[in-house]
Structure 1
Amino acid sequence: METIQTQGIAMPKLGLGTFRLTEAAGQAAVESALAEGYRHIDTAEMYGNEEIVGAAIAASGVDRRELHVTTKVWYDHLAPDTIRRACDDSMKRLRLDHFDLYLVHWPAPGMDLPAIMETMVGLKDAGLTRAIGVANFTLPLLKQAIEEIGAPVACNQIEYHVYLDQSAILNYLQPKGVPVVAYSPVARGEVVDDPVMQRIAAKHGAQPGQVALKWLLDQDGVAAIPKSQSAAGQRRNLDSFKVTLDDEDRAAIAALPKNRRLVDPAFAPDWD
């Protein structure tokens, strides 16, 4: 598995997203992914599934040193004391003694970003997480965290797929060696019925979702965390690495509308 080096960690470019993977079926899905060869698992306290993710990791027998585990602190837990408590609680649920990457899941209105990042760095210094990062941060927030505060941001996890332009954030982060981790990378399945994506997939004997993933994975400093509950789907996502897109394919994807944001909760920041 190809990896991205960032802030002292090697993050596999393809991981398993676990949002809405819960209960026994969710645990089975994580166990299946680990058996298929996934070594990057993404969860969050908000998902309510850290316990089953931890149980799956424990049952897998995979050496902890081979795994990259990301979890996240929710946006209403961003006071220094509550960040520390959330970190401890997540660690207990996951049955781990450290994370590989701990993220601020969403920015909060009126948050004290310097205090938040200082607390996150403290967790890293204490060995509770190997690296820290952010998710759903806009360009101004990234500039504040990286330039003004000087935080060792290891990634920005954002919605990114063939229908959403994220070039401003990519153009800012790539020269700094800070990767983007793409969630909803197949646009919640919308690529499946897209004629353009179907045509490209047929050309390569692939599936539209594989084309969407390979388009992301071909980009420098971009990882993707598709969710899949079935072993067949997980294998299909891994096999996306075998697809070879050409300039014609990339031009067709570039021509698709790029303003379709699928994740925009009421508490989201001003994306513009």
Structure 2
Amino acid sequence: MPANDFPQFGLGTYSDDNKDYWAGIVESALEVGYRHIDTAQIYDNEEYVGEGLKNASVSREDIFVSTKTVHVDVPGPSPDTEDILAAANGCLERLGLDYVDMLYVHWPVGVYDHETVLPAYDRLYEEGTIRHVGLSNFTPELLDEAQEILSAPVFAHQVEMHPLLQQEELHRYAYEHDHWLVAYSPLAQGEIFNVPEIQEIADKHGVSPAQVSLAWLLSKENVAVIPRTMNEDHLQSNVEAQDLELDADDITTIDAIEREKRCIDPDHGPWNK
């Protein structure tokens, strides 16, 4: 198993608008028990996430904060080491933090160059600016390539994962290489509400399909989840999914779902190359 200083349940904070709303949502999430907050430079909300962290009555040492940089859509030439260091320091400044618990490479395409980017992440790790190195949206081949360069251990790999995109290969890879697999879009952007098997299991337990999907992910060894919500009622119901114990038949039923849907599927996704 990977290191256990990682809250397996967190809050994702991506949104296209109302970015200032995240200050209140992050504060509320921490007050109801979340201890893992996930954001990114490209989300353009780190300032507000940082405000929520500051306003909550939870010690910084008890919160795992992750962000991401090196995004495919960043204009200009490929970044050099100083660009990466400046980007990471910009994340810290906007969040109002002295360090982040994890910095992810957001996408391994576009401006990403492993021989430049990853040594910069090693330097940030060695300096203590980041406590852990994460990767996001990588393929197994790109994970292999990254691990040949990195001196720091890969702590987590973040990918879309839910009952309609079960990521068996990347889950096996994470288990074999001793890192966390962090599931974003764990509700398939609402598609799991249209899956009869999940609805039947939800009815059986008297819970919501969202809670079933989250509980199924949490039942997997070395998997963490970061559902995104801007609804304070959903904050509470999502966090309660940690208390839902699916039985072996439930898990087998979800494992056997053959329908497959990738919700985040840009042309630049490395799986499309």
Scaled by the length of structure 2, the TM-score of the pair is: 0.92
Aligned counterpart, 1:228: 229
1:182-193 equivalences in 2 (<5 Å)? 182-193=183-194
| 1:70-98: CA deviation from partner (whole Å, max 9, x where unpaired) | 00003247432221111111111000000
Contact preservation (8 Å) 1:132, 1:152: yes
Specify the code of the residue in structure 2 equivalent to 1:52. Y
- How big is the alpha-carbon RMSD for the aligned residues of Structure 1 and Structure 2? 1.8
Identify which range, 76-85 or 121-130, moves more after superposition: 76-85
Distance 1:259 1:199 in 2: 19
1:69 pairs, out of 65, 70, 73, with: 65
**How far is 1:149 from its partner?**
4.6
Distance 1:141 1:25, change over 3 A: same
1:12 counterpart = 2:16: no
Contact preservation (8 Å) 1:145, 1:151: no
Contact preservation (8 Å) 2:155, 2:179: yes
Distance 1:119 1:197, change over 3 A: same
| 1:234-259: CA deviation from partner (whole Å, max 9, x where unpaired) | 11111112212122212221222353
Specify the code of the residue in structure 2 equivalent to 1:27. A
Aligned counterpart, 1:214: 215
**How far is 1:270 from its partner?**
2.8
**How far is 1:24 from its partner?**
3.7
Percent identity of equivalent pairs? 36
Specify the code of the residue in structure 2 equivalent to 1:95. G
Q: In the comparison of the two structures, how many residue pairs are matched?
A: 267
**How far is 1:203 from its partner?**
0.3
> Which secondary structure does the structure 2 equivalent of 1:270 belong to?
helix
Aligned counterpart, 1:265: 266
Aligned counterpart, 1:91: 92
5+ residue gaps, structure 1, are none
Scaled by the length of structure 1, the TM-score of the pair is: 0.92
After the TM superposition, list the runs of 4 or more consecutive aligned residues in structure 1 that deviate by more than 6 angstroms. Answer: none
Distance 2:68 2:177 in 1: 23
> Which secondary structure does the structure 2 equivalent of 1:118 belong to?
helix
Distance 1:267 1:79, change over 3 A: farther
